[in-house]
């Protein structure tokens, strides 16, 4: 074992035959020691990956705790513990619906935004098999949308619309693409890699005029921008609690009254029969509490994050020559900052920033070492395509952390550039845009 690697449970492994990793096989002092080591590691990190997930707010966690071990009844059981759980569920349900500005009846809890997205795309397929039904989406959607679209073909005709270099859908092209077989348009509200905001109200008007449903993945929009679901004519919208300081494993789908959504998961008729299964009351309570906090503190939080975002962008553009903001001048949310640092690789920058948590794109496709499909769709120059880093700013980010990140990134990029033949070629005056490379992204 490397001397620099944490040596967990060393005393046990020397004295005992290896056994499966179970808490009961470890002494309490070893467990405490390991937990302290992990806490120490976490406390020495600067977290800037808020678009991937957010830490659960302690107020949210504390609200959830009683429903795990004390008030643990099934919310559909007819006894006091069940009634207590149902009351907590209904309260959380109302908190979420109130925050969204919709009827409580129109909100269904799911396991997360991925399930909500798939439920929207699959559950809206009309039962009439006489038509070749048609779905429209864009090429900058979350992987859960694009993968679902891939699996729906060839039974469903799917049109994936390109976006402009600014990352925005072309509304005229959307109108031209619609056919009599179109049953759904699905467009992400806020892109999870660039933070660019789509014109939901205009898309909704087009869908309403043509008489079919509009779904939006609003995961990154929740708590960051105000969306009037009714005004935007949104039929279905997806949300996830862990993006807004709630627990993982719980999300929701808004289903507008009158929208005929076919359930994919059947059970005992819970949640109007749209999503069967025992209701995870602690998680629902957590989501509700997260929304309560957003309702009270969200506006001031967005303002503070906007200031930090501007500080980060201004600092990086000044400290790192030839860097760029990949969202350009498009309207965007402040908590997502996607920056390109040409002539080095984004993965190398990320690995060099060992004390800073950032990413090169969506966490849901991070196991694929390919260029971001979102940046490709925006026709970002190839020297920025593989050199981009997504920074995320959140509730617990501080100004001093922003300044430290700017300094560390500038130092790391320069270190990598000093070893980069591309940087050397650029400094020697070679026109990099005229070079033809064999590798295709």
What is the rounded distance in angstroms from the CA atom of residue 20 to the CA atom of residue 154?
A: 46
What is the rounded distance in angstroms from the CA atom of residue 303 to the CA atom of residue 299?
A: 6
**Catalytic residue from among 56, 207, 291, 364:** 364
Please name the residues in contact with 155: beta carbons below 8 A apart, sequence gap of 6 or more: none
Six-digit token pair at 153? Answer: 């073909």
Cis peptide before 154 (omega within 30 of 0): yes
Query: Starting from the edge strand earliest in sequence, which strands make up the sheet with 324-325, in order?
Result: 324-325, 336-340, 388-392
Active site residue 69: no
Which run of H or of E encompasses 157?
A: strand 157-161
Instruction: Report, in angstroms and rounded to the nearest whole number, the Rg of the chain calculated over CA atoms.
Output: 24
Please state, in angstroms and as integers, the Cα–Cα distance from residue 237 to each residue in 135, 253, 282, 295, 421, following that order. 16, 5, 23, 19, 47
φ, ψ dihedrals at 174, nearest 5°:
-60, -45
Half-sphere exposure of 378 (CA within 13 A, CB side): 24
Phi-psi domain of 320 (left: phi exceeds 0; alpha: psi -120 through 50; beta: other): beta
Please state, in angstroms and as integers, the Cα–Cα distance from residue 36 to each residue in 9, 33, 123, 313, 373, following that order. 12, 5, 46, 35, 39
Six-digit token pair at 198? Answer: 């789509």
Q: What is the dihedral of CA 389, 396, 52, 229, to 10 degrees?
A: -110
Nearest of 174, 170, 185 to residue 134 by alpha carbon = 185
Triad 86, 247, 50: Cα angle to 5°: 150
Specify which residues 255 forms β-bridges with. 236
Nearest of 309, 325, 298 to residue 225 by alpha carbon = 298
Six-digit token pair at 264? Answer: 């994919």
Nearest of 349, 304, 307, 309 to residue 327 by alpha carbon = 309
Supply the DSSP string of 347-364, one letter for each residue.
Answer: HHHHHH-TTEE-BSS-GG
Question: What is the set of active-site residues?
Answer: 364
């Amino acid at each position: 074992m490397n001397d620099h690697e944490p040596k967990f449970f060393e005393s046990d492994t020397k004295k005992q035959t290896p056994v499966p990793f179970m808490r009961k096989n470890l002494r309490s002092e070893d467990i405490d020691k390991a937990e302290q080591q992990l806490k120490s590691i976490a406390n020495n990190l600067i977290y800037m990956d808020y678009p991937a997930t957010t830490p659960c707010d302690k107020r949210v966690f504390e609200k959830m705790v009683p429903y795990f071990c004390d008030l643990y009844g099934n919310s559909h059981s007819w006894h006091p513990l069940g009634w207590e759980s149902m009351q907590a569920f209904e309260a959380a349900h109302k908190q979420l619906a109130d925050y969204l500005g919709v009827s409580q009846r129109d909100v269904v809890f799911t396991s997360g935004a991925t399930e909500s997205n798939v439920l929207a795309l699959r559950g809206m397929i009309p039962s009439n098999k006489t038509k070749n039904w048609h779905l429209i989406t864009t090429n900058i959607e979350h992987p859960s949308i694009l993968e679902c679209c891939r699996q729906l073909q060839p039974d469903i005709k799917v049109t994936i619309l390109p976006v402009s270099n600014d990352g925005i859908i072309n509304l005229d092209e959307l109108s031209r693409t619609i056919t009599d077989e179109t049953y759904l348009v699905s467009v992400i509200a806020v892109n999870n890699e660039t933070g660019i905001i789509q014109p939901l109200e205009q898309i909704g008007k087009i869908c309403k005029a043509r008489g079919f449903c509009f779904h939006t993945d609003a995961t990154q929009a929740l708590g960051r921008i105000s969306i009037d679901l009714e005004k935007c004519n949104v039929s279905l919208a997806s949300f996830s609690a862990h993006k807004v300081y709630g627990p993982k494993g719980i999300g929701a789908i808004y289903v507008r009254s009158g929208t005929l959504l076919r359930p994919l998961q059947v059970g005992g008729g819970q949640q109007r029969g749209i999503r069967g299964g025992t209701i995870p009351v602690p998680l629902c309570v957590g989501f509700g509490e997260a929304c309560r906090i957003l309702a009270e503190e969200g506006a001031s939080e967005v303002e503070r994050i906007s200031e930090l975002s501007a500080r980060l962008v201004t600092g990086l553009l000044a400290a790192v020559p030839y860097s760029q903001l990949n969202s350009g001048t498009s309207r965007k949310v402040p908590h997502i900052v996607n920056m390109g640092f040409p002539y080095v690789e984004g993965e190398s920058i990320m690995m060099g920033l060992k004390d800073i948590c950032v990413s090169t794109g969506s966490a849901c496709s991070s196991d694929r070492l390919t260029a971001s499909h979102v940046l490709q769709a925006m026709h970002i120059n190839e020297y920025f395509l593989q050199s981009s880093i997504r920074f995320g700013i959140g509730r617990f980010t501080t100004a001093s952390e922003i300044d430290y990140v700017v300094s560390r990134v500038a130092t790391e990029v320069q270190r990598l550039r000093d070893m980069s033949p591309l940087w050397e070629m650029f400094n020697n005056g070679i026109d990099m845009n005229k070079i033809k490379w064999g590798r295709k992204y």
